[in-house]
Structure 1
Amino acid sequence: MKFSQSAVVAFAATAVAAPSPTTQQEPRNAQAACASAVTLDPSQNPFKKYTLHPNKFYRDEVNAAVQQLSDPSLATAAAKVADVGSFLWIDTIANIAKIEPALADVPCTNILGLVIYDLPGRDCAAKASNGELAVGEINRYKSEYIDPIVKLIKAYPKTAFALLIEPDSLPNLVTNSDLQTCKDSAQGYRDGVAYAIKNLNLPNVIMYLDAGHGGWLGWDANLKPGAKELADAYKRGGSPKQFRGFATNSAGWNAWDGKGEFSGASDAKYNKCQTEKIYVDTFAPLLKSNGMPNHAIVDTGRNGKTGLRNEWGDWCNVDGAGFGVRPTSSTGDDLADAFVWIKPGGESDGTSDSSATRYDSFCGKSDAFQPSPEAGTWNQAYFEMLLKNANPSF
């Protein structure tokens, strides 16, 4: 997962709200999670009622990481990370098989977060997180990816789901339209997103469409085109009822509030969205004026420290990063439904091995942590760094 530079100038930085309490949940059968079918009201913030579920796959990774720690105090702190709610990435057709095991211990008080992320020609402006489906394989995306996910969610009507739809896709069409790879992917992205939100429009689902971050679509020249691109996708999908709004800072580093990391840069005059709060408050009205629901979720999983990047567009394994605010609906902003953990902290953004097929030069920059393995692969040293630099601390 990566963030592209804007075609205009491009490119944000730490949340400071208090974390909500997190408790260990006892395993339960998903079908018995609620006594009856769940119906989510799209006019209400779902995170006011439901806690983001600490999915078993991230818990397993963290628990395995704890076993590698010899420092007892660090191990105790690390064990607490396993109890933090986080989104589960369904980034391949094979990983659809993770959904049912992840449902097995979701109580009625929790909502399972899933990242829907497998468009044909995925991540058209980077190499580290390219997907399995080639440009043009939209029928496979529909029949082998989206349709099985729809079927599974229908089979578990007593569980609540929060879905983040296709990180990076539409923002890339706004700012990287000059790249041939993005030109080739454009129609598939638009068709795929429309199909996804139309068919995932189920009573126990709430959906958010990815909108990059303030250092991407927050530039003056990108705000209106970005809002139109997202709103058009919403309308192409039939303006689905269970659609709540947009997601920002997914797998990102930008601060929610305070002083923006690049607010003192010479080109800051072209981007007033120096924090994610300003971005949400600026972008949301544009979405509304284009006819799209406009409430946001914001990834605070790795933005506990700021001032680390050389450039706003540096997106890969930022060195010195720390875990940020834990998931909570207490954002202090009516337009922001929740701070959530979207990117699983400890999983790599991309490899620093320049000889690798999927090597992206951003992962070899001086502000990127090295060595780092392939995207999605666990990096123990990076996890320990995030833990030591966590703000607030564990």
Structure 2
Amino acid sequence: MRHLPIAFTALALPALVGALLTVPAPAAEAAPEQAVYGELARNGAFSTTTDYWWGTPGVSVNSVDGMLRAAVEPAPKEQVGQWYRTVVGQNGIKLRQGVTYTLSFDAKASRDTQIKSTVQLGTDPYPTTLANVLDLTTTAKRFSWTFTSQLGSDDGHIDFQVGGQAVRTDIDLDNVSLTTSTAREGFYTDPANTAMKWVQGTTDPRAAKIKAAIADHNTVKWFGNWDADGDATTGIQAEVSKYVGAAAAQGKLPVLVAYDIPGRDCGGASSGGSADADRYKQWIDAFAQGIERRPALVILEPDAVAQSSDPGCISGEALEARFDMLWYANQHLQAQGTYVRTYLDGGNATWTLGQDLSGNGGIGLQRMAYLLNRSGVSMARGVSIGVSNFDSTDISNQYGNKLAAQLRTDFGVDARWVVDTARNGNGAYVIPGDPSSGHVGFCNPAGRKLGVTSRAGTGGAEYLLWIKNPGDSDGDSAECPAGSPPAGSFSPDLAERLIDGR
């Protein structure tokens, strides 16, 4: 779930507490190199220790029942209510000005009381970029705020001002987390998505409706041979770097689709891709290098794995070459480090080789697991499901659970999955009067509807994502409704139908 940002005011702590905030207790060991993205708080679970957390005079800090317990001594009468007198915190946090962060934690106390939570600097004049007074009770409560940092420093603090207690008070903290560039802070919206370009270039009365419902929520950008301006290698690397960098500057998580495999879409409406295996490896190498180890989700080659089982599409040496290219892509994306999560496309729930919806895995599920394994899924985070299709989230999650179990059983691969929810609000199209007809009408079918916008997953999915940009046509072939635009072209008519569910 995404959390709404809150308003905050930059405050300065009184100078008299400067010494308190700059004298942390000795750490048990030197802190590791601090991260810039992802989880910034070290040892926020306090399972057995309170390493990296310190307390100023007037408080003892210990791990009790898997929580940090701050035992706060009573304050002199004239200091009651002055929280800043005693502080528990962690320093060495790398903050970047203008970047989005989320601070969250659980807290309770041995009696009803107040404390103050801040993200700030520990040097005079002790500016804060987030400051909140908390009402604590004897029952643990979850606190969470998403904010944009006004500060830039390699020595930011997560501080809990717990002083000024009238009597001895135990403050319990748990699951302390400060993150950036994760799903919690939100997904980066492509400012140049096809819907937004249409909105900004038209006076059509539908523009406001389409902007609010679609253009403002298109959080995935597709990259293919159309990005290879000039020299293909430097062109795609520069495009990816620019996109991922813009997301990182906002503390948001970008989602990219790599879609350039030779023989793409088996010569269908979205045909194209690199000229050959060597060109593809150059392209995907440059694509990966453009990410530069920054946070990103990558959807790798929609349909390429599933279509590799169709001898009418690809076979023989070409098939082996495809496995090799996908393996290479997974390998080089994995080399970008832990902030990059790759999801190799696993088709959809009602694909010919997908799940038997009667509940039996069958040879189809085994075959899909085999194809994914041959394509290097063991090096990926997992698989993407339902890309550019319409199956409901529940049906897709059923498939995801079964496919993950098959990969684990057959190959020892621990695979997660993401679901494309862009157009699955009404589920898959079926022939009217024939509910057993399954997934038909893949090209711009009527009666489809927008699904939930990009967010953390449910039902086993790691994320629910708008992967297909709503309003972009599936193609203009004979299988498509008359008047359909070419594949990838934005259509306000298709967009409005998805908004209205007709």
Q: Same fold (TM over 0.5)?
A: yes
Shift of 1:328: 1.6
Shift of 1:254: 0.4
Give the aligned partner of residue 89 of structure 1: 222
Aligned 1:331-342 pairs, distance under 5 A = 331=458, 333=459, 335-342=460-467
Distance of aligned partners of 1:183 and 1:305 in 2 relative to their CA distance in 1, 3 Å threshold: farther
2:254 to 98, 103, 112: 112
- Asked if 1:295 is matched to 2:416, the reply is yes
- Asked if 1:379 is matched to 2:499, the reply is no
Distance of aligned partners of 1:245 and 1:141 in 2 relative to their CA distance in 1, 3 Å threshold: same
RMSD (Å), alpha carbons: 2.9
Return 5+ residue gaps in structure 2 as ranges: 6-33, 41-180, 229-235, 357-361, 432-436
- Asked if 1:328 is matched to 2:469, the reply is no
- Asked if 1:244 is matched to 2:381, the reply is yes
Aligned 1:92-171 pairs, distance under 5 A = 92=225, 94=227, 96=236, 98-106=239-247, 107=249, 109-124=251-266, 126-134=267-275, 137-143=276-282, 145-154=283-292, 157=293, 159-171=294-306
Distance of aligned partners of 1:313 and 1:344 in 2 relative to their CA distance in 1, 3 Å threshold: same
Shift of 1:39: 6.2
Q: Deviations over 1:63-118 (max 9, x none)?
A: 5337646547x724633423325221112162535424433531454211111111
- Secondary structure at the residue paired with 2:264? coil
Task: Answer whether contact 1:252 1:315 (CA < 8 A) is retained.
Answer: yes
Give the aligned partner of residue 327 of structure 2: 194
Task: Answer whether contact 1:246 1:297 (CA < 8 A) is retained.
Answer: yes
Letter matched to residue 349 of structure 1: D
Letter matched to residue 287 of structure 1: L
Aligned 1:263-274 pairs, distance under 5 A = none
Structure 2 CA distance for aligned equivalents of residues 296 and 53 of structure 1: 20
- Secondary structure at the residue paired with 1:246? strand
Shift of 1:151: 2.2
Task: Answer whether contact 2:218 2:469 (CA < 8 A) is retained.
Answer: no
Aligned 1:61-80 pairs, distance under 5 A = 61-62=195-196, 64-65=198-199, 68=202, 70-71=204-205, 75-76=208-209, 78-80=211-213
Shift of 1:362: 2.5
Q: Deviations over 1:166-214 (max 9, x none)?
A: 110111123x13x154556412320110110111111231111100011
Return 5+ residue gaps in structure 1 as ranges: 1-18, 24-34, 258-274, 352-358, 364-368
Shift of 1:346: 1.1
Structure 2 CA distance for aligned equivalents of residues 22 and 196 of structure 1: 36
Structure 2 CA distance for aligned equivalents of residues 91 and 321 of structure 1: 27
- Asked if 1:225 is matched to 2:379, the reply is no
Distance of aligned partners of 1:330 and 1:121 in 2 relative to their CA distance in 1, 3 Å threshold: closer
Letter matched to residue 342 of structure 1: I
Shift of 1:389: 2.1
Distance of aligned partners of 1:115 and 1:70 in 2 relative to their CA distance in 1, 3 Å threshold: closer
Letter matched to residue 65 of structure 1: V
Give the aligned partner of residue 315 of structure 1: 442
Structure 2 CA distance for aligned equivalents of residues 161 and 372 of structure 1: 33
Distance of aligned partners of 1:120 and 1:86 in 2 relative to their CA distance in 1, 3 Å threshold: same
Q: Deviations over 1:200-257 (max 9, x none)?
A: 111231111100011011133310111121123226xxx43xx211110001100112
Distance of aligned partners of 1:20 and 1:385 in 2 relative to their CA distance in 1, 3 Å threshold: farther
Q: Calculate the TM-score normalised by the size of structure 2.
A: 0.56
Distance of aligned partners of 1:84 and 1:210 in 2 relative to their CA distance in 1, 3 Å threshold: same
Letter matched to residue 345 of structure 1: P
Distance of aligned partners of 1:215 and 1:69 in 2 relative to their CA distance in 1, 3 Å threshold: farther
- Secondary structure at the residue paired with 2:216? coil
Shift of 1:381: 1.0
Task: Answer whether contact 2:418 2:462 (CA < 8 A) is retained.
Answer: yes
1:254 to 385, 391, 398: 391
Larger radius of gyration: 2
Structure 1 CA distance for aligned equivalents of residues 190 and 281 of structure 2: 25
More strand by share: 2
Task: Answer whether contact 1:215 1:313 (CA < 8 A) is retained.
Answer: no
Give the aligned partner of residue 30 of structure 1: none
Structure 2 CA distance for aligned equivalents of residues 80 and 130 of structure 1: 29
Structure 2 CA distance for aligned equivalents of residues 57 and 185 of structure 1: 35
Task: Answer whether contact 2:429 2:441 (CA < 8 A) is retained.
Answer: no
Letter matched to residue 425 of structure 2: G
- Asked if 1:285 is matched to 2:405, the reply is yes
Task: Answer whether contact 1:168 1:212 (CA < 8 A) is retained.
Answer: yes
Letter matched to residue 305 of structure 2: L
Distance of aligned partners of 1:185 and 1:379 in 2 relative to their CA distance in 1, 3 Å threshold: farther
Letter matched to residue 308 of structure 2: L
Letter matched to residue 231 of structure 1: N
Identity within the alignment, %:
25
Letter matched to residue 78 of structure 1: K
Distance of aligned partners of 1:347 and 1:286 in 2 relative to their CA distance in 1, 3 Å threshold: same
